[in-house]
Structure 1
Amino acid sequence: MADKDPCALIKGPGRAYCEQDNTGGGPPGTGGGGGITGNAADNVKNLANSLLKTLKGLVAPKDTWAPAKADNWVYEQFLWLGQHLAVAIFICVVVVCALTAWQGAPRLKQMGASTGWTLAAVAGMASVPGAVMLLNRAVSAAFTVAFDSNEATLFPVIRQDLKHGADAGNPLAKLLIIAALVVALGFATLVFMTRQIGILMFVCMAPLVLASLARGGDTSAVKQWAQRLLGLMFAPFALLLVSPFVKLAQGSLVVDSALVIAADAIMLRMIFHGVPYFGPKVAGVARAFVENHTSNPLARAVVRAGSPDVYERENTPRGPRTVDTPGRAMSQDRGVLFAAYGVKQQQRPARLTTESAIAQARLNAARNARLRQARAAARPSTSNGQGQPPTSSSPGQPPNPASTRPPTP
């Protein structure tokens, strides 16, 4: 009875686990293993590889939410509006040139320029989605080469250090790199959302912006639109700032974690500068969330580096590190577009927002108090109590008119 197999009554896959010995060997068909410790190490490596793959896919995805072709239903509506708007502007230019044909050559030149720019605008409207799609794929491929191509880039170095690093057997080092990758994944999600929504918005806006060329070739609105769009497209390359330190980090998971934390700060900066309208707002919300849920000084320093303290500017150029409110930023770009159509927009008065003005007053309170004391000390002292400065004229000489002049308030 003692030799009876205890696993004889077990059927199915569970019998293989029952028959395995307790020496740490894995179940049959799994290729062996190192027991609980070995399987845990493999799970950590697989988790890190999965996080790195997801991180790369979020920061520089191969596909965008923007239309890939001009026949997309969403883009077709904007394309129809832009084409008809360009034609309407061209007809208005032709009518104006016909009514003022007595001016001769200038009107003929204006009509010729409007004709050429109208054709270029209508042709360019249909090519914007394809150009953006190709540019996005090029950015994704370049990002892969810069961060996941060989042993000198960041992601393969982290994978290599998880296997053969000097602290690869230290559970704390593995915990640090996993935590840093998880935090980076959160920031990469914010980058993905802001970039994708921004690219979609600017692609759909392209027909309306290009239609402004039909008026006679005013490219100010097109330049503004292109700068915003290209800034969004090439935002992932801000992470190249950590590339020179990859070789320094090779062999140490702790230094790899420091590089990932630095990449977090840069990605937060990408949010701050990438989307001109709501980027600073999103970055500020991310900073407030981190500061309200953790007291770790390193985490606070990272989010402060990525989203610095700013004043929201409504119309004033004065003050350190001011940014426009979303409404003002859109109003300025709208004003550029209206100017391309010949519509002048009235500028709003220059001032800070109420919250920013209060913060600036609190920050400058000590400085203003010292300035008041310095001004009071620099005023000329009175000798007669009447507010008149002392005279330096000698007896027998007429007083100097300049010395008897009342002080300037």
Structure 2
Amino acid sequence: MAFRADDPCDALKGTPGYEYCARDNDGGGPPDGGPPGPGGGQGLTDGAAGNVRDLADSLIKKIIDLVAPKDTWAPEQADSWIYQQFLWLGQHLAVAIFMCVVVVCALTAWQGAPRLKQMGASTGWTLAAVAGMASVPGVVMLLNKAVSAAFTVAFDSDESTLFTVIRDDMKEAADADNPLSVLLIFAALVVALAFAALVFMTRNLGILVFVCIAPVVLASLARGGDTSAVKAWAQRLLGLMFAPFALLLVSPFVKLTEGALVMDAVLLVAADALMLRMIFHGVPYIGPRVAGAARTLVERRTDNPLARAVVRAGVPDVYEQETTPRGPRTVDTPRRAVSQDTGVLFAAYGIKRQQRPGRLTTESAVAKARHDAARTAHITQARREARAAATPSTPNPRTPGAPTPTPAPTPAPVPNRPNNP
């Protein structure tokens, strides 16, 4: 394989390293027509800063692609093999429920119009449920593409968004020539990329699960139009779909940090905490476990107070399903959340489940006891003082050492006997 002698970077053509080689002093100059350095190239410092900017720009694009991807792991059409199994189950379940309704209405036909109305409602809801089962994958895919496009447009077209300001500040900010500021924002982008990967995994797994169980949930409509299970399922699914827009909450503060890379890095760290909070609250079941594991990993690996403060702000201490409203705020454990949603689904099918008692887990009980130790001691002392103040102080006439008088025995009750004539 022959190479040209006048271009030492010819061997790297077609690879990402070609641009870096072309920016070197000995290379052919910057490929984008940038200002040449002394000696025909850009210079070592300028070339390194340009490379870092390119890497930061690629990280920003990767973060956006992970937070709001164009494609998901959920099936695109109803003919997918994994979805066909749930579709078959949901359709047969809806038909079975409808046949049960018809039999019940036939046995109670003497009630007249109410039973005819129930059978008509069940017929319409069964047709709507069977038609909706096949359309769920396509609707979810179109909605995901719309969310991804809207998120990308919101972060690329508007000049007041975080990533757009970071791109501009890396070129025109007052501290853009400071390598430390550039490396600081680069490190913040790397951390944001890790959080974006967590968001990507939890969102895709959650969407896949909710799309697959859609036929079973929609089949409950055949019973007569009970939409409670469908509403709960739709709320969870829409929460997963629109979760990336939580990052737009930091946009009002972008103007305050414009022109300073260090402040951009601080705001990006705040956005990372918001992303972690989004995992904790926006993604059901999987999110709390992932967020808690991320906080535990950070706290075990580092003693940096700033890093610990960020993860604690993103994943606060909570008690699972407290029975009292006071104290720290509470969230449902993943197992309890699953139990509540399955209870709603069974109720839509007419099956009554026994509610789980509202008790704390072992870890939460220990944490609650430690948190309320001072309060419990204060309440106990106040009760003792109140009890002592309410008890009357009677003088004791007995002399010390005198035997305690024994009370007289109570006579046994005389049984009532009937009068003999």
Q: TM-score range by the shorter chain?
A: 0.7 to 0.9
Aligned partner of 2:392 in structure 1 is 382
CA contact (8 A) 1:26 1:34 kept: no
Aligned partner of 2:14 in structure 1 is none
Q: Offset at 1:316?
A: 3.4
- Is 1:299 the counterpart of 2:307 in the alignment? yes
Aligned partner letter, 2:323: T
Q: Which structure 2 residues correspond to residues 1-400 of structure 1 after superposition, within 5 A?
A: 12-13=3-4, 16-17=7-8, 25-28=25-28, 30-31=30-31, 33-313=41-321, 316=323, 318=325, 320-379=328-387, 380-384=390-394
CA contact (8 A) 2:25 2:44 kept: no
Aligned partner letter, 1:100: T
Change (3 A) 1:340 1:36: same
Aligned partner of 1:398 in structure 2 is none
Aligned partner of 1:394 in structure 2 is none
Distance 2:292 2:97 in 1: 41
Aligned partner letter, 1:262: A
Q: Offset at 1:256?
A: 0.9
CA contact (8 A) 2:161 2:248 kept: no
Distance 1:260 1:131 in 2: 33
Aligned partner letter, 1:142: A
What secondary structure is seen at the aligned counterpart in 2 of 1:63?
coil
CA contact (8 A) 1:195 1:274 kept: no
Q: Offset at 1:168?
A: 0.3
Distance 1:27 1:159 in 2: 26
Change (3 A) 1:331 1:34: same
Aligned partner letter, 1:108: L
Q: Offset at 1:15?
A: 6.2
What secondary structure is seen at the aligned counterpart in 2 of 1:260?
helix
Q: Offset at 1:127?
A: 1.1
Provide, for residues 18-47 of structure 1, a one-character-per-residue CA deviation record: whole Å limited to 9, x for no partner.
9xxxxx844236545312212101110111
Distance 1:258 1:148 in 2: 21
CA contact (8 A) 2:30 2:42 kept: no
Q: Offset at 1:16?
A: 4.7
Aligned partner of 2:402 in structure 1 is none
Aligned partner letter, 2:87: L
CA contact (8 A) 1:265 1:303 kept: yes
CA contact (8 A) 1:312 1:353 kept: yes
CA contact (8 A) 1:148 1:154 kept: no
What secondary structure is seen at the aligned counterpart in 2 of 1:309?
coil
CA contact (8 A) 1:26 1:35 kept: no
Provide, for residues 239-263 of structure 1, a one-character-per-residue CA deviation record: whole Å limited to 9, x for no partner.
1110011222221111111111111
Q: Offset at 1:280?
A: 1.1
Aligned partner letter, 1:316: T
Q: Offset at 1:350?
A: 2.2
Provide, for residues 50-103 of structure 1, a one-character-per-residue CA deviation record: whole Å limited to 9, x for no partner.
100000001111111111111111111111111111011001100110011111
What secondary structure is seen at the aligned counterpart in 1 of 2:69?
coil
Aligned partner letter, 1:28: G
CA contact (8 A) 2:68 2:151 kept: yes
Aligned partner letter, 1:145: V
Aligned partner letter, 1:121: A
Distance 2:394 2:86 in 1: 79
Distance 1:311 1:13 in 2: 68
* Structure 2: gaps of 5 or more residues: 10-23, 397-421
CA contact (8 A) 2:229 2:348 kept: yes
Aligned partner letter, 2:224: G
CA contact (8 A) 2:29 2:42 kept: no
* Percent of matched pairs sharing the same residue: 73
Distance 1:28 1:189 in 2: 37
Q: Alpha carbon RMSD of aligned pairs, Å?
A: 1.8
Q: Offset at 1:151?
A: 2.5
Distance 2:358 2:239 in 1: 27
Aligned partner of 1:393 in structure 2 is none
CA contact (8 A) 2:49 2:179 kept: no
Q: Offset at 1:292?
A: 1.0
Distance 1:12 1:141 in 2: 43
Distance 1:327 1:207 in 2: 22
Distance 2:55 2:319 in 1: 41
* Structure 1: gaps of 5 or more residues: 1-10, 19-23, 387-409
Aligned partner letter, 1:73: W
